[in-house]
Amino acid sequence: MRTFVAEFFYSSLLMREFIIADNQDISKAGMMFLLSKQKEVSLLLEADNKAELIQQLRLHPQAVIVLDYTLFNFAGADELIVLQERFKEADWILFSDELSLNFLRQVLFSSMAFGVVMKDNSKEEIMTAIQCATRKQRYICNHVSNLLLSGASSPLAASSVDDHLLTQTEKNILKEIALGKTTKEIAAEKNLSFHTINSHRKNIFRKLGVNNVHEATKYAMRAGIVDLAEYYI
């Protein structure tokens, strides 16, 4: 009887709420499916933008957040770190296609609450990240660990910026992004598919070594792709 009670009490301690902060439908659906199979998950929630994420955190301050930072409008790593400090009981899994090395260093060195796994990692690594976060343990996938140890350049690392970094098509799309247009709006204006514009967007962010629209906009202004007068219309 004692053993049963102890096991029940221990398992109840491991039950965690999860917030999926990702507005990419296919990856969100995949993560929801994986989490729905985990007995340690007590509640599954969704957030499609930063405002919804903060609202969910207010209601569930001890949740595990699975966040695709690149798809949310954070002003930078500092804002994410401040959010973590505000909700100290939460645990975070950074779950993206690409993250710059500078961003990873800044965030991962700021708190043990942040772990990271990439969307192209194996199912086993993704599951390990989930299980570690459930137990309030940090997991950093092998690829990111090697990057942090070596400091070598890769698709995750920030690239040096120059005028030849982007193609003309990418510059045109970056200008539209900097002017506040959504991927759907850009696709409609250019008579291209959402997938095509989204792929360009990812390539632009990867080449620039940035993680969000705010950082991409700053580059666009510095490079003269969009001027201040046009930006503030």
Mean pLDDT of 100-116: 89
Domain stop point among 88, 116, 149:
149
pTM of this structure: 0.62
Which of 30-34, 157-161, 223-227 has the largest mean confidence? 30-34
Q: What is the pLDDT of residue 151?
A: 59
Q: What is the pLDDT of residue 6?
A: 45
The alpha carbons of the chain give a radius of gyration, in whole angstroms, of: 19
Q: What is the pLDDT of residue 74?
A: 86
Contact by Cβ (8 Å): 148, 108: yes
Same domain, residue pair 98 and 55: yes
Q: What is the pLDDT of residue 207?
A: 86
Helix (H, G, I), strand (E, B) or coil at 92: strand
Same domain, residue pair 144 and 206: no
Residue type, 202: K
Q: What is the pLDDT of residue 68?
A: 94
The answer to whether residue 157 is domain-embedded is: no
From CA 77, how far away is CA 67, in angstroms rounded? 13
Q: State the average pLDDT for the chain.
A: 84
Domain stop point among 88, 115, 149:
149
Q: What is the pLDDT of residue 162?
A: 52
The answer to whether residue 179 is domain-embedded is: yes
The answer to whether residue 158 is domain-embedded is: no
92 forms beta bridges with 65, 114
Domain stop point among 95, 120, 149:
149
The answer to whether residue 195 is domain-embedded is: yes
Same domain, residue pair 131 and 182: no
Please state the domain count of the chain: 2
Q: What is the pLDDT of residue 178?
A: 85
Q: Which long-range contacts (CB under 8 A, 24 or more apart) does 121-125 make?
A: 123/34
- Between vectors from CA 74 to CA 69 and to CA 77, what angle results, nearest 5°? 75
Q: Which of 102, 219, 110 is nearest to 156 (CA)?
A: 102
Torsion over CA: 203, 208, 212, 215 (sign)? negative
Same domain, residue pair 31 and 145: yes
Same domain, residue pair 95 and 198: no
Q: What is the pLDDT of residue 3?
A: 54
The CB density around residue 129, as the number of other CB atoms within 10 Å, is: 25
Question: Is residue 155 scored above 90 in pLDDT?
Answer: no
What domain range is 30 assigned to?
A: 15-149
Confidence class for position 158, pLDDT limits 50, 70, 90:
very low
Mean pLDDT of 52-57: 95
Same domain, residue pair 100 and 183: no
Q: Which phi and psi (to 5°) does residue 86 adopt?
A: -70, -35
